[in-house]
A and B are shown apart, each in its own frame.
Chain A
């Protein structure tokens, strides 16, 4: 093998290793920015809002009634919803137990949102506006859903809390 060819082989190998390292580094960065730290959902909720004014903490029955799922299916959760049927505000934060639970939650929340939009379509202008601006977010194995005038702010706080 000529010396020139040897040098070209070395140059190609070095370039390949460099590019693969860049690819691996990039994937590592994506994972870092997309991952979530392990925190109890109650702590996360406390950082999202200190009072949840006019909303009440939901239990297993509320979870089943609103989303048609159980805590056993989903994992650790915290839920706040409005007392009045005419008030559409709600917050759900779940630390899902597995991927299937995340899929189940996505579908359940989409169905809930669709039902609520149908319920208020045509006469509940404020409610419909809030429902249209509802925020759903996933990070790591955490799931977040909010219908609230501060939904975007709550989402930012949720993402900060699990960073």
Chain B
């Protein structure tokens, strides 16, 4: 089930909200847990049991780590990490590893392509953050299995993040405040997220799909396509995060921010402080800093950065183009840190923005491609392999130019600030805009069929 589906909007969410607010307060965690399991089982009837077993294993290991000391504690931590990473690795990377071995050694080991359990990367990382933080003594062990299960399964952020660390919602799992103001605010955030996804991401996604499937793309067509993809992936993922954060508010949880207008970044370093912030934070906290971070010799720091970014790429997908995408950013960040920082700081802001957007767009080529050869083809097209411009580009601009312009405007922080200023004292206008957005989203969902969530495959 996805947030931008009619079944979620018209049946699942209203029923859950009624159950949550009508039943006594002490039943709220149970209602949310049941709703979350139904939400997951709707799309993954088989894998819901995998998630439940993972929860049970980690719950027991967490409690045991909490009560143990010395070597036993460390052994339990290692056991939990191995079990979680092996489960994730088996479902997500088995085929990739076999393919790679077959390719290197010219073997033909059978490929066993299992369906990837939705959200496994997200909930595994959440579980690991809990286990590691319990081991480090940064959070209290959760002895109530229902609360622990709710932390892992909570449907607003279960399948596409944001990655919520246990410490961030530890108190709210026990006691949380739900006020009408907070529910209204949550509903507004959810609605804007839904509009980002349904109105902008889906429309721009259709443009990118048509460009991706076209033969003989000129440079202008390819750049239009990649601009559409850059906007699609941003509105798709940030829209989903907004919906999750909004639902969190409605149920009384404060989830961390995941995006901060990444396309206004003035450097690649800045971009990654603004894009998928919870994933970056997770890798920094649980991989980069334990490896020594930047408090090591430069060569070691270079290794740390490259390892973290190769892993970040691999987290996004079991394919070499994702590893290359991660390493691409690792190298860019190192270049900025050790070579370009001073030059970049002296450049006019416009140049810094153009530089950042250029390299981010090139990065999206690696990300969007089905493989390395497809990525190479798109890159060649971006640089004019089939000429500079043609009528296809003009047609794309005429058909989607306004959507691209709307996308660019909505990616700017100034647009939302302007909206806030204009509607600040006009609640009736806010309600009217909200109603219009709901109407447009539902109309679009009823009429359209193109509704993929890009980050579900992670």
Question: Which A residues are CB-close (under 8 A) to B112?
Answer: 31, 34-35, 140-141
- CB of A26 within 8 A of CB of B72, answer no
Distance A30 CA – B45 CA, assembled complex (angstroms): 12
A38 within 8 A of B: yes
- CB of B102 within 8 A of CB of A26, answer no
- CB of B99 within 8 A of CB of A99, answer yes
Distance A75 CA – B83 CA, assembled complex (angstroms): 35
Question: Which B residues are CB-close (under 8 A) to A140?
Answer: 110-113
- What class of interface size applies to chain B in its complex with A? 20 to 34
Nearest Cβ distance between residue A94 and chain B, in whole angstroms?
12
A98 within 8 A of B: yes
B178 within 8 A of A: no
**Partner among B50, B53, B60, B102 whose Cβ is within 8 Å of the Cβ of A16:** B60
**Partner among A12, A15, A26, A141 whose Cβ is within 8 Å of the Cβ of B113:** A141
Report the nearest A residue to B61, measured CB to CB: A16
**Partner among A16, A23, A100, A107 whose Cβ is within 8 Å of the Cβ of B54:** A23
Question: Which A residues are CB-close (under 8 A) to B57?
Answer: 16, 19-20, 23
Distance A22 CA – B83 CA, assembled complex (angstroms): 12
- CB of B53 within 8 A of CB of A23, answer yes
Distance A26 CA – B102 CA, assembled complex (angstroms): 27
B260 within 8 A of A: no
The winner among A19, A27, A35, A104 for most chain B CB atoms within 10 A is: A19
A49 within 8 A of B: no
The binding surface of chain B is classed by DSSP as: helix
A1-55: which have CB < 8 Å to B?
8-9, 12, 15-16, 19-20, 22-23, 26-27, 30-31, 34-35, 38
B90 within 8 A of A: yes
Question: Which B residues are CB-close (under 8 A) to A23?
Answer: 50, 53-54, 57, 83, 87
Distance A27 CA – B51 CA, assembled complex (angstroms): 11
Report the nearest B residue to A15, measured CB to CB: B60
Beyond A20-B57, A35-B112, whether A26 also contacts B50 by CB under 8 A is: yes
B23-66: which have CB < 8 Å to A?
46-47, 49-50, 53-54, 56-57, 60-61, 63-64
Question: Which A residues are CB-close (under 8 A) to B87?
Answer: 23, 27
Question: Which B residues are CB-close (under 8 A) to A9?
Answer: 68, 72
Complex interface bits, B113-127 against A, C-beta within 8 A gives 1, otherwise 0: 111000000000000
- CB of B113 within 8 A of CB of A138, answer yes
Question: Which A residues are CB-close (under 8 A) to B111?
Answer: 96, 98-99, 102, 140-141
B137 within 8 A of A: no
B348 within 8 A of A: no
A111 within 8 A of B: yes
Distance A96 CA – B110 CA, assembled complex (angstroms): 10
Please give the residue numbers on chain A whose beta carbons come within 8 Å of chain B beta carbons, in ascending order. Answer: 8-9, 12, 15-16, 19-20, 22-23, 26-27, 30-31, 34-35, 38, 96-100, 102-104, 107, 111, 138, 140-141
Starting from the known contacts A9-B68, A20-B79, A99-B111, 17 additional A-B residue pairs (CB-CB under 8 Å) come to A12-B63, A15-B60, A16-B79, A23-B53, A23-B87, A27-B87, A27-B90, A96-B111, A97-B108, A99-B99, A100-B99, A100-B370, A102-B111, A103-B371, A111-B213, A140-B111, A141-B110
Chain A to chain B contacts (Cβ below 8 Å), 23 pairs = A12-B63, A16-B61, A19-B60, A20-B57, A20-B83, A22-B56, A23-B53, A23-B54, A23-B57, A23-B87, A26-B53, A27-B50, A27-B87, A30-B46, A31-B114, A34-B112, A34-B114, A34-B115, A100-B99, A100-B371, A102-B113, A140-B111, A141-B112
